[in-house]
Amino acid sequence: MKIYADNAATTRMSDAAIQVMTDAMQNTYGNPSSLYTIGQHAKEKLEEARSSIAGIINAEPREIIFTSGGSEADNQAILTAALNGKKKGKTHIISTAFEHHAVLHTLEKLEKYGFTVTLLPVHENGIVSPSELEEAIREDTCLVTVMTANNEIGTIQPIAEIGAICRRHNVVFHTDAVQAVGHLPIDVKAQQIDMLSASAHKFHGPKGVGFLYVRKGIILHSLIEGGAQERGKRAGTENLPAILGMTAALQEAVANMDGNNARMQNVRDHLIQGLSEIPHSALNGDRVQRLAGNVNFSFEGIEGESILILLDQKGISASSGSACTSGSLDPSHVLLAIGRIHDVAHGSLRLSIGEDITIEEADYIIDSVREIVAYLRSFSPVWRDLTEGKKEFIL
Amino acid sequence: MALYSDKVMDHFLQPRNVGTIENADGVGEVGNAKCGDIMKMYLKIDDDIITDVKFETFGCASAIASSSMATELIKGQKVDDALKLTNAAVAEALDGLPPHKMHCSVLAEEAIQAALEDYKSKAATD
């Protein structure tokens, strides 16, 4: 059995997106900036895509900027708010401890340039508290940036509440919605979002393309200087095939969202139930306020990378927050942020299931994980110490 | 390209000398759970020869494979020869490790050293 359960990392492209892209590469190769017919035809397609995406999140077409993906959109949004704030003497930014590194590393860079950053706690359930956020707002706060849904533990943040608070205090609100767009309903007006980042390959679109929504009235700063593309805010010839592929994928994802979520949630809950029966394990992140496709567990006494490689041998692709998979000595900052200690954070497993997952596949995953956890524990000195009472169980 | 060599995968999927030895002549444990790797080595030594060796490891695939390979390399060796085992020898026997995984072979070397030191200190007090 082959099961791809790492959809939070990337997704398989939708057939509709592939078809649209293939057609665009063959037939719509003109440069949208050219004035002759094939250039203008490309321009028309580009603007149709912009209108379609804007409509999906209840924005105006001119509020959508195409980018190379979520990371670029996050960088541009945060630097924009920081530069606009600095002009008014506002250099304080509020975010959370478990943002994506595209956000956290941009904030660290800004700290070197004199900005002050408050990272709010996300508590044991992985959800930021709107009241704590409101208390953290200062006179000189120029930006609040909180992700819509966490990429590792899938917890969904109270975005509309945060939007309302920010609007009331006249602070710009950006959300990294990379894990949410195409999976959760987004309405930038109702949720009072000022800036939003999205990435196509998280919703079955192509890699290397995304978009940034910026509410009109906010002066956007460009990261890439050059031509006048994207109203002069993002230079470089537009990647039209990718933009059209993204649009097709998003239309498809949104059209099927309710059905997909209901089906995935059912399988997700089945997985959570089955994996909970493994002794000394725990679900990471809130049980209810989480993405329909996200399951994240910690298993005490073992290390995550070993679990992944053994799962791969059984045809299951998944991910972990262990240090060995992060390329550093520390395990995932997300798991540490929800209070998991290092020992337990190393033994984590993220399954981000796809829309076509079946209960039978979930059962195969549960059986495989159960077998692998027991096997790795059978020769783990940590597990021995725990079972012999030399160390206390945490989970 | 695969993440690990066939040798690493072989020793990870079918680790040699897994387990413990009761009344071992030398036991060594190195690493810590905070960093994500712990290795424990058990030695049985007769007439200065390592007659049996077992390991338990908490860690990634390369840590488990390094432990397994290290036990194979010292089994049947004289204590003084086993003391000369280097992490480079472990890594080489595994047909190499990715650069950020070399510390796993260091840990294997240290675990063997710790078990041998334990044996020597026990022998000195006997």
Give B89-97's long-range contacts (Cβ < 8 A, gap of 24+). Answer: B90/B66, B91/B66, B93/B7, B93/B69, B94/B5, B94/B7, B94/B8, B94/B11, B94/B62, B94/B65, B94/B66, B94/B69, B95/B5, B95/B6, B95/B7, B95/B8, B96/B5, B97/B4, B97/B5, B97/B8, B97/B62, B97/B66
Residues from chain B contacting residue A342 (CB–CB below 8 Å)? 33-36
Q: Do B34 and A343 touch (CB under 8 A)?
A: yes
Angstrom distances, CA of residue A52 to CA of A28, A64, A228, A252, A327 = 18, 10, 22, 12, 39
Q: What is the mean pLDDT of residues A28-51?
A: 97
Q: How far apart are CA A3 and CA B83, in angstroms?
A: 45
Per residue in A343-391, pLDDT (tens digit) is: 899 999 999 999 999 999 999 999 999 999 999 999 999 999 999 999 9
Q: Is residue B17 part of a domain?
A: yes
Q: How far apart are CA A238 and CA A240, in angstroms?
A: 5
Task: Calculate the CA dihedral of residues B5, A327, A212, A262 and round it to 10 degrees.
Answer: 70
> Chain A within 8 Å of B107 (Cβ-Cβ)?
no
Residues from chain B contacting residue A305 (CB–CB below 8 Å)? 60-61
Q: Which of B15, B39, B58 is the closest to A301 by Cβ?
A: B58
pTM: 0.95
Residues from chain B contacting residue A323 (CB–CB below 8 Å)? 35-36
Q: Is residue B81 part of a domain?
A: yes
Tokens matching residue A67: 């980018």
Q: Is residue B114 part of a domain?
A: yes
Per residue in A232-262, pLDDT (tens digit) is: 999 999 999 999 999 999 999 999 999 999 9
User: Residue B75: which CATH number?
Assistant: 3.90.1010.10
Residues from chain A contacting residue B56 (CB–CB below 8 Å)? 379-381, 384
Just list the catalytic residues of A.
324
Per residue in B17-69, pLDDT (tens digit) is: 999 999 999 999 999 877 789 999 999 999 999 999 999 999 999 999 999 99
Q: Is residue B119 part of a domain?
A: yes
Task: Calculate the CA dihedral of residues A28, A29, A34, A37 and round it to 10 degrees.
Answer: -40
Strands (E), A149-268: 172-176, 195-199, 210-214
Q: Are strands A195-199 and A210-214 parallel, antiparallel or unpaired?
A: antiparallel
Q: Which CATH number fits domain A15-255: 1.10.8.60, 3.30.465.10, 3.30.70.100, 3.40.640.10?
A: 3.40.640.10
Q: How far apart are CA A195 and CA B18, in angstroms?
A: 54
Pairs of CB atoms within 8 A across A/B: 67
Confidence of residue A197 (pLDDT cuts 50, 70, 90): very high
Angstrom distances, CA of residue A299 to CA of A293, A302, A322, A349 = 20, 7, 11, 8
One of B13, B35, B88, B123 is an active-site residue; which one? Answer: B35
Q: Which residues of A131-166 are buried (b: 16+ CB within 10 A; e: fewer)?
A: eebbebbeeebbbbbbbbbbbbbbbbbbbebbbbbb
Q: Which of B55, B61, B100 is the closest to A306 by Cβ?
A: B61
Q: Do A382 and B64 touch (CB under 8 A)?
A: no
Q: Is residue B91 part of a domain?
A: yes
Chain A nearest CA to B46, separation (Å): 25
> Chain A within 8 Å of B40 (Cβ-Cβ)?
yes
Residues from chain B contacting residue A383 (CB–CB below 8 Å)? 58
Residues from chain A contacting residue B101 (CB–CB below 8 Å)? 324
Q: What is the mean pLDDT of residues A19-45?
A: 97
CATH number of A257-387: 3.90.1150.10
Tokens matching residue A12: 């398989």
Confidence check: pLDDT of A329 > 90: no
Residue linked to tokens 């099927």: A256
Residue linked to tokens 């908490």: B58
List the single best residue of A299, A300, A302, A305 to mutate versus B (max B Cβ within 10 A): A305
Confidence of residue A327 (pLDDT cuts 50, 70, 90): low
Q: How far apart are CA A332 and CA A149, in angstroms?
A: 16
Task: Calculate the CA dihedral of residues A378, A361, A269, A281 and round it to 10 degrees.
Answer: 10
Total domain count for chain B? 1
Residues from chain A contacting residue B59 (CB–CB below 8 Å)? 303, 306, 324
Query: Which H or E run contains B53?
Result: strand B49-58
Q: Which of B4, B12, B56 is the closest to A381 by Cβ?
A: B56
- Give the residue from chain B lying closest to A376, CA to CA: B58
Q: Do residues B104 and B66 make contact, with C-beta atoms less than 8 angstroms apart?
A: yes
Q: How far apart are CA A269 and CA A256, in angstroms?
A: 20
Q: Do A381 and B40 touch (CB under 8 A)?
A: yes
Strand-pairing partners, residue A49, are: none
Per residue in A99-121, pLDDT (tens digit) is: 999 999 999 999 999 999 999 99
- Give the residue from chain A lying closest to B20, CA to CA: A379
Residue linked to tokens 């057939």: A15
Q: Which of A309, A343, A379 is the closest to B33 by Cβ?
A: A343
> Chain A within 8 Å of B109 (Cβ-Cβ)?
no
Confidence check: pLDDT of A330 > 90: no
Chain A nearest CA to B102, separation (Å): 12
Angstrom distances, CA of residue A297 to CA of A194, A212, A225, A334 = 34, 32, 44, 13
pLDDT value for A251: 98
- Which structural domain range is residue B86 located in? 6-125
Note if B60 is an active site residue. no
The span from the first CA to the last CA of chain A, in angstroms, equals 31
> Chain A within 8 Å of B36 (Cβ-Cβ)?
yes
Per residue in B98-118, pLDDT (tens digit) is: 998 999 999 999 999 999 999
Q: Which of B9, B15, B59 is the closest to A303 by Cβ?
A: B59
Residues of chain A with CATH 3.40.640.10: 15-255
Residues of chain A with CATH 3.90.1150.10: 257-387
Q: What percent of chain A has pLDDT over 70?
A: 99
Confidence check: pLDDT of A326 > 80: no
Q: Are strands A92-96 and A281-283 parallel, antiparallel or unpaired?
A: unpaired
One of B104, B106, B107, B114 is an active-site residue; which one? Answer: B104
Q: Do B12 and A306 touch (CB under 8 A)?
A: yes
Q: Is residue B1 part of a domain?
A: no
What mean pLDDT is reported for chain A?
97
Chain B nearest CA to A128, separation (Å): 26
> Chain A within 8 Å of B102 (Cβ-Cβ)?
no
> Chain A within 8 Å of B10 (Cβ-Cβ)?
no
Per residue in A64-100, pLDDT (tens digit) is: 999 999 999 999 999 999 999 999 999 999 999 999 9
Q: Do B56 and A327 touch (CB under 8 A)?
A: no
